Amino acid sequence: MEDGLLFLHIIGVAGWIGGGLFGIYAGGRLARAGGEANGRALELIYEKASVYFGVAFVIVVGSGIGLVLTEDAWGWGDTFIWIAVAAIVVSGAWEGLVSRKAGEAMIDELKTTGTARPATFSRWRFAGWGDIAILLVAVWAMITKIGA
């Protein structure tokens, strides 16, 4: 069971980070190309991304909790577990307070004017890379088992 949970945990994290990296790449290409149609395409991607990242979240959190409950070597007192929990909370706050607004602003500009201003594009990229950085801190804590 523990191997299965660990497999799901790793796959979920890989999907979460990989999806974010692809989103930065693909969204950036659409935004730089400009045009109303690309704004609508980016809007559709954002709608589908909510489902995709929601599933990744459930897989990561569910398997992570399962690992803590079933693995004798790890427990709620381990620092790396709390770093990962904090990273997920911070990532969610970052998404709600920064990333979503930056994405919506870029989509609105593309749909209305056909271009995204450089400041809007930079804010959107910063938001995406910020979330990736938060998640990589969690991965680092998990790999090193800091505090265990």
pLDDT band, very low/low/confident/very high, at 74 (cuts 50, 70, 90)? confident
Overall average pLDDT of the 53-65 stretch = 96
pLDDT band, very low/low/confident/very high, at 43 (cuts 50, 70, 90)? very high
pTM summary value: 0.88
**pLDDT tens, 82-122?**
999 999 999 999 999 999 999 999 999 999 998 999 999 99
Q: Are 145 and 80 in contact (CB under 8 A)?
A: yes
Overall average pLDDT of the 66-90 stretch = 92
